[in-house]
Amino acid sequence: MVIADYRSEMHLLNPITGEQFALPSVITLEHVTPILDESGAICKYRLMRFTFTDLALTLDLSELREHLDCKAFVFYDTLAEGYIVVLIHKPVAQLSFAWLGDDKWTWLSPKDGLPNKSFEDCAYKDGLLYASARPGQIFAIDLRGPIITAKLIIEGDPIDGCEYIYIVHSPCGALLQVRLEPDADRCEEDTEMINIFKVDTAAQKLVKISLDDHVLVPGHNQSSLCLGAKEYPQLKANHVYCTLRDVEFITDFAYLNYYTVVFDLANNSREDLLPPQFRSNLPAPIWITPTLTKLSPTPV
């Protein structure tokens, strides 16, 4: 997982072994500028906003992590034999990445053929980063070549402003788009319906499917999971296990209820997996997959 220290610097942490690896400094992110004191030491950060008319934020060292980070992903690239870390971050949910061992973050921007805001989720497979952006667009991004290339594989369509979208690979390798739809009259409330689509990359279209004997685990974790129920008998087939989902909701309303529920797709019903509690939801509830793999710089 990715953690931020008291200076808002990020580290890759294996919570099982306790091993840590420093990630590139936050001052190498496109929208962060260091402010120096008289001795030349960094004393504050300046975070640029989305437009030139928006005032930049001047933040204490520990404050930046509360205003910048939205969601972090850690992917292992088998060909490169190393890790890549991807951030969806403020302002306005932009995208940056770094290979483990890099000395700076690389911003994925309009010059790379990508939108400059509204990214929601990421997945990684066979050297390609898949990134979902509103309104339902999906991009395939090659980060391993000398030049970053991006291809729009799903055009997207108008979606409800309250809808949350995730992307995940199934055990057989198919890319899925998952849409969690709250009650239209109560955007801040719980999920009322879940629709799942297979991404046909050749035809560039979505095909609605059912989970059948699979289990889906979306949430504010580093990557959503799609599992075979036979391999995980403690989980229920054709069910979705949900945690609190919305990034802005989490960061802007830090002391509201959070929930963890299981959603039965067969009859469109849900039940609490854990009792709701009135407590801080920072950090948000997440699902993790433990690993004992040793961290090392990526030789790319």
Is residue 74 within 8 A of residue 85, CB to CB? The reply is yes
Tens of pLDDT along 50-87? 655 567 899 999 999 988 877 889 998 888 888 899 99
SS3 assignment, position 244: coil
Tens of pLDDT along 115-167? 888 898 999 998 899 999 988 899 999 998 788 999 999 987 765 556 788 99
Among the listed residues 169, 162, 107, 102, the one whose alpha carbon sits nearest the alpha carbon of residue 138:
169
Mean of the per-residue pLDDT values of the chain: 82
Sheet holding 258-264, edge to edge: 225-228, 214-217, 239-243, 258-264, 269-277
Whether pLDDT at 272 is above 90: no
% of residues, the chain, pLDDT over 70: 77
Whether pLDDT at 23 is above 60: yes
- The mean pLDDT of 280-296, rounded to a whole number, is 59
What are the residue boundaries of the structural domains of the chain, listed by start? 77-277
In angstroms, the CA 57 to CA 49 distance is 7
Residue 119 Ramachandran class (φ > 0 left, ψ -120 to 50 alpha, else beta): beta
Cis peptide before 299 (omega within 30 of 0): no
